[in-house]
Structure 1
Amino acid sequence: MSDEPEATRRTYSYLGPAGTFTEAALAQVPEARGQIWRPVRNVGEALADVVEGRSDAAMIAIENSVDGGVSTAQDALATMPGLRIVGEYLVPVEFVLVGRPGTRLEDVSLVAAHPVAYAQCLRWLTATLPAHAHIPAASNVASAVGLIDGTSDADAAIAAPGILEHLEVELLAEGIGDNAEAVTRFVLVSRTVAPPEPTGADKTSLIAELPDDHPGALLEMLEQFATRGINLSLLASRPIGDALGRYRFVIDADGHIMDERMADALLGLRRFSPKVIFLGSYPRADHAIIRYPDRYSDDVFVEARDWLRGLLSGEPDR
C-alpha cells in the first residue's frame, strides 16, 4: 500500500475483479505499483475510463497466441479517439483447478469454467476427469467465486493462478492448460501522448483502411512496409461495419515512428489509405532488437533526402 496521498496517485483500469490475467499484466508495470487499481467489467469500460479522465491508463488484452487477436479490444481502439498504446506486457496463460476447502480431485464431477478456459484445458480434463461435466462461467474469476459464495453447483473451477492470492480455495491441480507455450499479450493504453524515445527494440501499432475494393489493394498497402524493410508481426482484418466486404486492418510493425524507414512507410500509408489510426510506438515486451539490412538504415534515408534537396537547389549530381 502506498503512503502517497490518494489525490496524487495515478489510477489504472483493468478487467477485474482481482485474480485475472489482466491484473497479472498490470502487476508488471513498475509505475503502477502502489497506485489505484480500478477493476472494470469489460474493455470498453476500461478505455472509456481513460478517455473520460477517470483513469490515467488502462490495461487490456490485445492478442492471444492460441485464439489470435482480441476483436473487442481491436474494435474499441479503432473507434474510440484520443488513445495511445504506451507499453506491452506478456502473461503466460496458465490455469489451475480449485475447489472448496477440503475438496479432493477424485471427488470432482462438475467443473465451472469460462468457455475459452475450458477449451484450453479440455485435453487435461478428458484424461484426468473423463466423466466430468462443464458449467459455463462468466469469467475465470467468477468460476471460482461461485464455489465460495454458494452460487455455483460445481465441485471445482478452472481459474488463473492469481486466484489463490485472493480466495480461500483448495488447489487441486496446476498447469492444466493443454498448451504450455500459450501467452496473452496485453497493452497499456493512455490518452494521446508523444511516443517515447526509440530503444531499438520497439513496435508500432496502427489501424488502416483500404481506399476501395480492387485487385491488389491489400498488396499495395503491404508494399508500404515491405519496400522499406519493415516486418509485420501482426496483420488482422476487422469489419468496418458500414457494408459487407469492408474491412480495416490492425497492424503491428517492427520499429519506431522515429526510425526513418518507419516514418517513410507511414507517410506512404497515409497517402494510400483514406484512414490511418496511429496507436503508438512503444518498447517490445520481449526486448528483441530489430534487425534489418543496411540498405534500410536511417543514414540511407537521410542521404537520399539530402541528395534530392541538392538536386532541387541546383547542385551537380555526383
Structure 2
Amino acid sequence: MIAYFGPQGTFTEQAARGLIPDGEFLPAETIFAALNAVRDGRAEAACVPVENSVEGPVNATLDGLTESTVLVAVAETILPVQFSVLVRQDASDIRTVASHPHALAQVRQWLATNLPEAEQVPTSSTAAAAQAVRRGEYDAAVTASVAAQHYELREFVGGIADLADASTRFLLVRRPGRLPEPTGADRTSLMAVTVNRTGALAELLTELSFRGINLTRLDARPAKTHIGQYRFFVDMEGHIAEPRIGDAVAALRRRCSVRFLGSHPRADHAPSSGEPPVGNEDFVAATNWLESVRRGESV
C-alpha cells in the first residue's frame, strides 16, 4: 500500500502512480497523515511533495520528516505542473476560486488577468478544492486536470501556469532499511541542528566544501524548541555509500545532531557536477594506508 497526500485527483497521486505503477494507493488528508501511515504500518511507503520550482520547499514535508520516527527517501520524481480551472457543469459565474496556496501562487498572474474579481480561497490540497466545488462551496478550483474525472466537474480552461517550466519534486519515503544502490547520479538528504553561535553553519558547509561536495538545496526551519534554534535541511550530490559522502556525513555528525533522510537516484539523472579536489578513490586509499600504519606495516 502506498500512501499519498490526497485526496484523489492531486498531482501527488499522479507522482505516486508514476513511481509505483502497479501499486495500491491510500489517499491521506494531509502530508503528516501520509507519513504517519508508513510509521504505523498501514502503508509500505508514502509519496509527498518536497519542493516546488516557484514556491520553494514544502514545509509540511520537511517538518513531517523530522518531528517523529525516522523515514528515509528511496526515490524521487519531478512533475511539470500545469493546472486546470474546474467548475460545476452548470456554472455560469466565477466569484470564488479555491486551491492549495502553492497552486494559487503558480497561477496568480493568470487569475489577475482572467478572473480579477474572483476571491481566492486557500484549501488543504488542489483536490480538496475540487471536492468543495462539487459540493457547491466555491465556484471554481485550480487543480490537476485528472480531478475533473474524479469529481464530475467541467474544465473551464486547462494548461495554465504563470511559468511554463514550473515543476514539483516528490519523494517516495519508507521506514529505514536497505538503501537503493548508487548510480553515479544520486542525491543524499540530511537534517542538521547546530548550536546557536557564530560560524556554526559555515563550519558544516566547510566540511562539504573540503570534500568537493555540491549542495543542491539548503533550507532552514524552526526547531520549534525556542526562538533562534533552527533545523537545516541539506541536499547534496552523491550517495551515502560513496567514501567521500560518508566521510562528510560522519564529520557533520561529530559537529552536531544529524538525521539521515535518504540517498537515492536523482529524477533528472544528473551526475555530480565538477571534479572534486579529492575523489572517492583518494578516500579509500587514505583509509587503507591508515589501517596499514595501525597494523605496524612498512608503508
Q: TM class by shorter-chain length? A: over 0.9
> What is the distance in 1 between the residues matched to 2:124 and 2:273?
43
> What is the distance in 1 between the residues matched to 2:274 and 2:193?
27
Measure how far apart 1:153 and its partner are: 4.4
Check whether the contact 2:6–2:125 (CA below 8 A) recurs between aligned residues: no
Check whether the contact 2:243–2:280 (CA below 8 A) recurs between aligned residues: yes
Q: Cα gap change, 1:82/1:134 in structure 2, threshold over 3 Å: closer, same or farther?
A: closer
Task: Give the alignment of 1:93-242 within 5 angstroms.
Answer: 93-101=81-89, 103=91, 107-150=93-136, 152-154=137-139, 156-210=140-194, 212-242=195-225
Percent of aligned positions that are identical: 40
> What is the distance in 2 between the residues matched to 1:84 and 1:42?
18
Match of 1:312 in 2: 294
Matched position secondary structure for 1:192: coil
- Does residue 41 of structure 1 match 2:29? yes
Q: Cα gap change, 1:82/1:102 in structure 2, threshold over 3 Å: closer, same or farther?
A: same
Paired AA for residue 280 in structure 2: D
**TM, length-normalised to structure 2:** 0.93
Match of 1:6 in 2: none
> Which of 60, 72, 81 is matched with 2:69 structurally?
81
Task: Give the alignment of 1:284-299 within 5 angstroms.
Answer: 284-293=266-275, 295-299=277-281
The answer for unaligned runs of 5 or more in structure 1 is: 1-10
Measure how far apart 1:178 and its partner are: 1.0
Measure how far apart 1:113 and its partner are: 3.1
Paired AA for residue 198 in structure 1: P
> What is the distance in 1 between the residues matched to 2:163 and 2:56?
14
Q: Cα gap change, 1:137/1:270 in structure 2, threshold over 3 Å: closer, same or farther?
A: closer
| 1:151-197 C-alpha deviation (Å, 9 max, x unpaired) | x242x321112213323222221222212222111111111112121
- Does residue 302 of structure 1 match 2:284? yes
> Which of 262, 284, 301 is matched with 2:245 structurally?
262
Is the radius of gyration larger for structure 1 or structure 2? Answer: 1
Check whether the contact 2:214–2:273 (CA below 8 A) recurs between aligned residues: no
**When the two structures are aligned, how many residues end up with a matched partner?**
299
- Does residue 16 of structure 1 match 2:6? yes
CA-based RMSD of the aligned residues comes to: 1.9
> What is the distance in 2 between the residues matched to 1:20 and 1:180?
19
Q: Cα gap change, 1:254/1:68 in structure 2, threshold over 3 Å: closer, same or farther?
A: same
Measure how far apart 1:101 and its partner are: 2.2
